[in-house]
Structure 1
């Protein structure tokens, strides 16, 4: 990266003159912020041999390391490194590093003039300032108890590594009242562009931060009841980077001190936000506390998907079961998940072999295909008696291009709460869940009397394994969330809306599933819910607001050519192939029991093909 000539003057001449005369009367950066010629920056000084790699490291991690300028050996002089934000004259302004270890603090670098002849200086923009955003939403500024600089924390989130620079992300935290959360985030982005967007909202443990009262840098800001911890990337990540490269000699500005420069951001903050840039904040889970971010335009598209699939071709009364934004919240949770377990299978045709229906497996595999494209781990759990059938379905789905690669097919026979926990967690340890998210798509759900019923009140318990126990166990394991997709109220996960099922669905008092999920997606046909989840994930992962929160500002966005997600979306062609595979295995349509190209008594060509195309039109328009 090269910088124009007008960026090479690091300090206005008047300030440089003051520094040369040792008149450091400037006490803090806030007092100088009103001068349009000055802005605070932190400094990193490295051997020139490491300079190209550090510049690439900053470019790869531009969230915490906003590179304002680079000065080569001989292009800068010592006065340009005089810190202006010192709280008092003579305080340490620089840190000295030797082979990765901080070996001292210095007020000046005079004694290293000879070494500095072969060292490059980098100027990094300081962390996001929230004072303007706080004022805009009517929140008082909260200073640390000791009136120092606000605390910063090392995380377990790795930055993108370049050559010898390999370190964790460092973040700052501000506690924000829950009722002001979205307004504060939007105000910060409005004032400072994408830099104002936080990288995480919620439980600090999700970033690997164990104790907010013990920051790695600076002083803690106390959370009050009703506050939500909100985290932004910090330029103090550069200190960890300097430690990681183990240079024989390096210098950084001291945390809390900065030089005043007239360098400008290479990419200036945006002014008015477009719908693609306005962040919305949505609650994902309570334990652990977690909020997701997406743009207003992405949220609107997902709501359109939710409306599309909520039509009721079977006139079952499903409109009474609908809960707003369940698709949005479920897709946000899935987008943040690393490992997903999917289950399906409703043996409604108990007098035939196989007893399964054509609703469920297509939606489950369509979702699995898109999760694979997002490079998430995907597994399926099915009834033991249906293991061979689902194994063949997956193998043929790969052969016909519906799935990219095979996915593990598991079974679970239950036995106890301990058995369910052992299945879900590594070594049975609830602190080490094997899966982040469970999804049930048209899966028979247990009623309040312990039995499983089809829509006609026929008990099919002898054909169903107790996979419900996994969803019940997940409710007690922090870090595992769940989604249920159903179209009649007797499916696993519909326990969340069981009262509405009992009141408004035919035979609901008997068939209503008693086992809930965190998110209950209601669709006219359950397959449509699986398709909609895949489409919602596409929308989220094509949304830059959501993408920045996923990347934690620690890696660059994917180039358009790197996104292979479009081919992983459900399509009329792929779903026709999948239904054909089911027909060849004599899997029958629900409602009619026919072996043919139909689902729930509705023909594929016309009803289902039209729905798939409508979902795709909403998903890919303007993308």
Structure 2
């Protein structure tokens, strides 16, 4: 097959900003070619093209509203003299590579257009161009997920690897049966919904910029280039992607390179060494470090808890190395532009406040970390703390991390390593982790 392109045609006064918008969002909008004003050809993509007639159907937009569909733009030739055409990569260009990998293309089997959905994921805004990401969805058999990622990851001009694998709700998509563009594509038993960035994102940007006049292709009616789809192979075995399931409810898979996965597994082996022979080796869970890393990488808002009084007769009780570990994780999360907060015992609030203030002064933290406390006031206290108005569908945090944290024993007390009861110093923060098990979308990690 031949490479295909999404098409956006804008007034030349908006062209520079739209090009910047494409570069800032090159996942959904890989720019293949930008024409000069009034130029209807694209010599690097096609030897004899005319953008006025080479798409099967076009849409016309006036002040952000779609005012009709057209088979040809020739009647607008005069207006097009002051307009610039953008040719953007399309996921149809990778379907041959996917088929060559032995993966069924359900929309082809079902003889329908691909499903396209608006998401709740914002693109980077440039001037008047702002919109949420649009994605395509292709059902992929679970056993073929890695093959699908491998087949597409190097095809950057066709959006590359998928941006999400699993529950559509994590992207803000409510119903797969109701695509915003295209046709519904039905999943077979054992299929997993896999989502790729989509060039129709450009259509949403055109709508929101409210240009006096703009044109796009009709979704699914692409511009077909003269360039053949050449299969691209991954150059190094270290870069071969792996797919791991990191959550069953909601269903969520993550992608990691073989090299990164191996480094994390090496770290896990080192962490498992117990030089003090403390008898904690049974606490280690094989391959959980990789899943925890991947899960945290997807999180938007992380809640960290720490607090384990050691010399508990001191005033205030001394802490172990949990608080500095929590700050190190918080600093890493801030560097990744994630929201982060710390919840700790009421008796340790002043101690942690001073540590956080000093960490900001020293430049360890970019900004202060919100410091929270939790008390059990009712049976729903944990749910109210974790979710807006206690609604499990609206969690405030999507990942909880416990670092050197005391947990409740079977008898309801809390003990240190010397078997001394420290319940009077410990707030029931472990209830948050128990409650999180019942809230879809919240995952937990213990260190």
- Give the match for residue 393 of structure 1: 355
Aligned length: 441
| Displacement after TM superposition at 1:139 (Å) | 3.2
Structure 2 residue 241 is matched with structure 1 residue 279: yes
| Displacement after TM superposition at 1:409 (Å) | 2.0
1:133–1:446 distance in 2 versus 1, CA, 3 Å: farther
| Displacement after TM superposition at 1:189 (Å) | 2.6
- Give the match for residue 515 of structure 1: none
1:203-218 map, 5 Å: 203-218=167-182
- 8 Å CA contact retained: 1:339, 1:434: yes
Bigger radius of gyration among the two: 1
- Give the match for residue 68 of structure 1: 32
Structure 2 residue 321 is matched with structure 1 residue 359: yes
- What secondary structure does 1:262 align onto? strand
1:441–1:245 distance in 2 versus 1, CA, 3 Å: same
- Give the match for residue 138 of structure 1: 102
1:101–1:471 distance in 2 versus 1, CA, 3 Å: same
- Give the match for residue 518 of structure 1: none
Structure 2 residue 216 is matched with structure 1 residue 246: no
CA distance in 1, matches of 2:275, 2:370: 34
CA distance in 2, matches of 1:55, 1:369: 34
1:481 to 433, 440, 443: 443
- 8 Å CA contact retained: 1:72, 1:121: yes
2:428 to 438, 451, 466: 466
- Give the match for residue 161 of structure 1: 125
| Displacement after TM superposition at 1:471 (Å) | 0.9
Structure 2 residue 346 is matched with structure 1 residue 384: yes
CA distance in 1, matches of 2:413, 2:422: 8
Q: Which has the higher strand share?
A: 2
1:397–1:123 distance in 2 versus 1, CA, 3 Å: closer
1:350–1:167 distance in 2 versus 1, CA, 3 Å: closer
- 8 Å CA contact retained: 2:308, 2:320: no
2:305 to 325, 337, 343: 343
- Give the match for residue 143 of structure 2: 179
CA distance in 1, matches of 2:353, 2:173: 41
- Give the match for residue 201 of structure 2: 237
| Displacement after TM superposition at 1:301 (Å) | 1.4
- Give the match for residue 44 of structure 2: none
- 8 Å CA contact retained: 1:132, 1:191: no
2:116 to 152, 156, 170: 152
- What secondary structure does 1:472 align onto? helix
Deviations 1:333-371 (A, max 9, x none): 222222221111122433333333323222112112222
1:130–1:345 distance in 2 versus 1, CA, 3 Å: same
Q: Structure 2 length normalisation: TM-score?
A: 0.90
Q: Which has the higher helix share?
A: 1
Structure 2 residue 89 is matched with structure 1 residue 119: no
| Displacement after TM superposition at 1:230 (Å) | 0.6
- 8 Å CA contact retained: 1:128, 1:196: no
| Displacement after TM superposition at 1:124 (Å) | 2.0
CA distance in 2, matches of 1:430, 1:450: 26
- Give the match for residue 50 of structure 1: 14
CA distance in 2, matches of 1:139, 1:274: 22
Long gaps (5+) in structure 1: 1-32, 87-92, 486-623
- Give the match for residue 45 of structure 2: none
1:416 to 365, 378, 383: 378
- 8 Å CA contact retained: 2:97, 2:231: no
CA distance in 2, matches of 1:338, 1:191: 27
- Give the match for residue 452 of structure 1: 414
1:402–1:414 distance in 2 versus 1, CA, 3 Å: same
CA distance in 1, matches of 2:347, 2:337: 30
- 8 Å CA contact retained: 2:91, 2:198: yes
- Give the match for residue 60 of structure 2: 96
CA distance in 2, matches of 1:244, 1:217: 17
- What secondary structure does 1:372 align onto? helix
Structure 2 residue 165 is matched with structure 1 residue 201: yes
1:17-28 map, 5 Å: none
Structure 2 residue 266 is matched with structure 1 residue 296: no
- Give the match for residue 228 of structure 1: 192
| Displacement after TM superposition at 1:210 (Å) | 0.7
- What secondary structure does 1:171 align onto? strand
- 8 Å CA contact retained: 1:438, 1:483: yes
Q: Structure 1 length normalisation: TM-score?
A: 0.66
1:124–1:402 distance in 2 versus 1, CA, 3 Å: closer
CA distance in 2, matches of 1:351, 1:160: 53
- What secondary structure does 2:106 align onto? coil
Deviations 1:487-519 (A, max 9, x none): xxxxxxxxxxxxxxxxxxxxxxxxxxxxxxxxx
Deviations 1:562-604 (A, max 9, x none): xxxxxxxxxxxxxxxxxxxxxxxxxxxxxxxxxxxxxxxxxxx
- 8 Å CA contact retained: 2:134, 2:201: yes
- 8 Å CA contact retained: 1:190, 1:273: no
| Displacement after TM superposition at 1:179 (Å) | 2.3
- 8 Å CA contact retained: 1:41, 1:261: yes
CA distance in 2, matches of 1:190, 1:336: 22
| Displacement after TM superposition at 1:467 (Å) | 0.8
1:269–1:312 distance in 2 versus 1, CA, 3 Å: same
| Displacement after TM superposition at 1:451 (Å) | 1.6
Structure 2 residue 339 is matched with structure 1 residue 369: no
1:479–1:98 distance in 2 versus 1, CA, 3 Å: same
- 8 Å CA contact retained: 1:83, 1:259: no
CA distance in 1, matches of 2:232, 2:103: 23
| Displacement after TM superposition at 1:187 (Å) | 2.7
| Displacement after TM superposition at 1:214 (Å) | 0.7
Long gaps (5+) in structure 2: 42-47
1:437–1:39 distance in 2 versus 1, CA, 3 Å: closer
